[in-house]
A and B are shown apart, each in its own frame.
Chain A
């Protein structure tokens, strides 16, 4: 595997913000490794990105690409002793990796909050919605239960739950899926967090409800001016929402750029694959979707060279470079980074002749 110095250099180049030291959230060369009996699972292996207040970052990738592991690392929610975390996670200048669990706990819920995939299992079935929001609020605010409950009603109202003063005493199972996710969002936002991580917030929801929830997140972000990370495997979700998009593969970022560029001028073959496997209503219907062949690699034995090479249709274009050397994560146009051995001309040619016509 590559040594960490190289990763650091790659990381420096990858910093997408012009004001790296001022970004609210900065992740630098994050590595999350899980030692198991079969070997070390390198779930996240040298990830660098940053995010400003009021901005939205979409993290996209297949299952096992390290999206959720990254978010759980930021939140400090990995089980004690199971994960080896190295690198830096700076939240407003404070390094969460070196902070004590108690320090991170105090930030959790207050300065950074998380929305989970399935609101039914993510809420405690035995406590009312109100009680759960009150609990989240009172961990960080020394107020009476009555005041906290009033706040909970306001939050439920804010996320668009009708009759919030009545629904506040309902249990999660008495809510519909969409309402539950709204309540979950109300709970996450109850302490006015500056960073909101939404881990596949719409995956478990009815398609008709998904758009409402996404709209709600956008609305609330404007009001609260929080930094938002949306994790998803659904490019459609981030298309509307995200300012920037990071495409992850095998625990690393393979492409990073602003949302518009990722959709109109993607540079990495993996991103091409993701776009090709996404059904689109705004284009003429093609014969069939173009799935990415193969399966995500084992995170214990990540392929040598470019981790995507076994699945990449263009891996042979540069001799054996793809199988021997790991591509550097470099800036190809302002703010747009990729990790690929293909030259700019090659990519442009492939995109124009082979990829774009098929999308």
Chain B
């Protein structure tokens, strides 16, 4: 088991390197292959009226004139050892882990990422609690009351849930509850949990519910399908034959077996969300990693894009590892060696 974890961790680090290389290549190598000169690339980061000399000096300062492997090496070295950056006016030390400076705002990327991680984690975890409770709960009840009004209604709603995009349900909920009824905070507001937990929850309640609605729908359908299958298993009949009451049969014997598939998709979903709930954050203007990524891409701020991609990839890789390890906890038949 221990050796397995070590092996997976080494694999994770290698994977992160590959992700960083590919991302780096996409933004720094591909434009060059496509024929852009270093000046073309630098011209995005100087004023519109800048002359050629200014553009060239900007290209040099951003390091575009160095060979690509050197640029990449500098980026990686910065993450592990920190780096010194020439911002034009002065040379600033950027402590490890240094993901570089924004080409546009000159702010270091890492503190931004840390800042926004809090928002994204708040959003993702809160929504996860809601969608797990409602999704799995609805799925179980639907399976046990298959064909009833509850089953049909909830599966209908679930179908709507998976079909309706966040930018629709999100905007609709904002229109009604925030701007129409005034029950919740308007879009764009966010308070740190440490500052005021009530306001924190108040600002996140709509995004939570909207995001949870989308995911709960999928979980309800998955839980229902798995539960229906499980309740027809022989071991459920055995449990009944022992004289267990129906509640114990359903919860201890039925639901227990549904855990594995739910764990699988939950790990992946959470990992992806922690890397940035792009649509939800954009719709509600929440300053999280997803919004950060979108803003970075729109403004072509390459260090930000690199940073947010790596953080997102890290979350997904960790989530996958945790899920794989939890399999062994949930299912005694799974053994790692």
Residues of chain A at the chain B interface (Cβ within 8 Å): 75, 77, 105-110, 113-114, 116, 118, 121-126, 128, 135-136, 139-140, 171, 173, 187-188
Contacts and interface: CB of A to CB of B under 8 A. Distances in A.
Given A126-B330, A171-B332, A75 B234 contact: no
Interface string B232-267: 011101111111110000000100110000000000
Interface SS majority for chain B: helix
A105 B234 contact: no
B332 to A, nearest CB: 5
Contacts of A118: 234
A345 to B, nearest CB: 47
B333 interface: yes
B234 A126 contact: no
A108 B239 CA distance: 10
Contact of A105 (B237, B238, B245, B332): B245
B333 A124 contact: no
B234 A122 contact: yes
Interface residues of B, number: 19
Contact of A187 (B242, B256, B257): B242
Contacts of B192: none
A113 B243 CA distance: 9
Contact of A106 (B234, B239, B243): B243
Given A171-B332, A173-B333, A123 B238 contact: yes
Interface string B296-337: 000000000000000000000000000000000011110000
Contacts of A188: 241
Given A124-B253, A126-B257, A171 B238 contact: no
A169 to B, nearest CB: 11
B254 to A, nearest CB: 10
Nearest to A197: B241
A121 B236 CA distance: 9
A116 B234 contact: yes
A105 B257 contact: no
B242 A108 contact: yes
Contact of A124 (B238, B241, B245, B330): B238
Contacts of B244: 105, 109, 135, 139
Contact of B242 (A121, A135, A171, A173): A135
B311 to A, nearest CB: 35
5 contacts: A105-B245, A108-B240, A121-B233, A135-B242, A188-B241
A254 B330 CA distance: 49
Contacts of A125: 235, 257, 331-333
B240 A77 contact: yes
B31 to A, nearest CB: 53
Nearest to A188: B241
B41 to A, nearest CB: 56
A336 B239 CA distance: 37
